[in-house]
């Protein structure tokens, strides 16, 4: 890792924490530290599942429990079991909690305005654009890729979303029964694998890799949720699957796609895939791609 890059990241972190008031004992001049204030804001008007709240903020369960106890003691939240599943705890704002959250919201707007006030119009535009880029890249850095069973609930969520989107985008619609999509067993080792991408614990994408015993590795069912596009996840999936195929001793990586998926086609060209004659009878495919990869040396 480049030392200058690390130093710049640390300088940026110090500047931001100082400028937005994180170091103050009482955040935004309210009578509570930033941890409690952020949790109060994140709970929102609709309330939250405590587990999802913890995953969203990346916080230890014990720390979240302490924060919630403090807010509960101040009469700002209630924490109760879910009526249909008592293992799940739900947190909701009380009337007092909603009032304090509104105060925090207003003061947050004031703080944001103060960051821009001393800059001219061009500088404000540059700062906001830079913040948007930093936000996008930091978000991308928090996405995890995990190997899961294709029958896992997160995998099934992605696959259903994948099928719905293809049905909307393909001229002929999309019927999974008529496609050459692999069955679950083909996406489990040693026959293959299935990856799920998660952001704050929520599934936002998937990609499968077939590893037939006597054939080329093949990418199947690659999908990224619309709201997560722009995070570079498609490239990350391709790089990860290529590395996995290489480790399995494969030197060719294949995939097929439909002409409606123009962004995906551009991505395949940009990442070294070349169009080849059809290598299967996929009803929904218009383009077939192949990439030569260097197999990992055997040990």
- Looking at residue 112, its pLDDT comes to 93
Cis-peptide, bond into residue 190, ω within 30° of zero: yes
**What is the dihedral angle through the alpha carbons of 145, 148, 152, 158, rounded to the nearest 10 degrees?**
40
Report the first-to-last Cα separation within the chain, whole angstroms.
29
The token duo for 35 is 């941890």
What is the Cα–Cα distance from 42 to 4, expressed in whole angstroms?
Answer: 34
Report which secondary-structure segment, H or E, holds 198: strand 192-199
pLDDT number for residue 282 = 95
Q: Are 151 and 160 in contact (CB under 8 A)?
A: no
Per-residue pLDDT of the chain (299 residues; tens, 9 = 90+): 789 999 999 999 999 888 888 888 788 878 888 899 999 999 988 899 999 899 888 888 999 999 999 999 999 999 998 877 778 899 999 999 999 999 999 999 999 999 999 999 999 999 999 999 999 999 999 999 999 999 999 999 999 999 999 999 999 999 999 998 888 899 999 999 999 999 998 999 999 999 998 889 999 999 999 999 999 999 999 999 999 999 999 999 999 999 999 999 999 999 999 999 999 999 999 999 999 998 665 55
pLDDT for 26 equals 82
Inter-residue contact 163 to 251 (CB < 8 Å): no
């Amino acid at each position: 890792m480049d030392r200058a890059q690390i130093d710049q990241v640390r300088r940026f972190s110090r500047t931001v924490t100082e400028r937005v008031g994180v170091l103050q004992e009482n955040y935004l001049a309210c009578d509570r530290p930033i941890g409690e204030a952020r949790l109060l804001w994140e709970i929102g008007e609709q309330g939250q599942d405590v587990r999802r709240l913890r995953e969203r903020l990346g916080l230890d369960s014990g720390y979240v429990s302490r924060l919630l106890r403090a807010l509960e003691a101040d009469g700002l939240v209630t924490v109760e079991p879910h009526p249909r599943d008592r293992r799940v705890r739900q947190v909701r704002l009380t009337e007092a909690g909603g009032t304090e959250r509104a105060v925090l919201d207003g003061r947050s707007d004031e703080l944001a305005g103060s960051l821009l006030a001393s800059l001219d119009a061009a500088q404000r535009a540059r700062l906001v654009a830079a913040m948007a880029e930093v936000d996008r890249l930091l978000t991308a850095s928090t996405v995890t890729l995990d190997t899961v069973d294709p029958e896992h609930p997160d995998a099934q969520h992605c696959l259903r979303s994948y099928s719905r989107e293809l049905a909307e985008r393909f001229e002929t619609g999309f019927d999974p029964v008529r496609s050459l999509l692999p069955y679950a067993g083909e996406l489990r080792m040693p026959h293959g694998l299935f990856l799920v991408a998660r952001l704050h614990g929520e599934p936002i994408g998937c990609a499968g890799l077939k590893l037939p015993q006597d054939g080329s590795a093949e990418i199947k069912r690659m999908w990224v949720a619309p709201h997560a596009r722009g995070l570079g996840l498609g490239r990350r999936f391709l790089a990860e699957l290529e590395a996995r195929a290489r480790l399995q001793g494969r030197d060719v990586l294949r995939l097929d796609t439909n002409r409606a998926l123009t962004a995906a086609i551009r991505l395949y060209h940009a990442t070294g895939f070349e169009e080849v004659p059809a290598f299967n009878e996929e009803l929904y495919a218009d383009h077939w791609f192949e990439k030569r990869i260097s197999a990992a040396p055997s040990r």
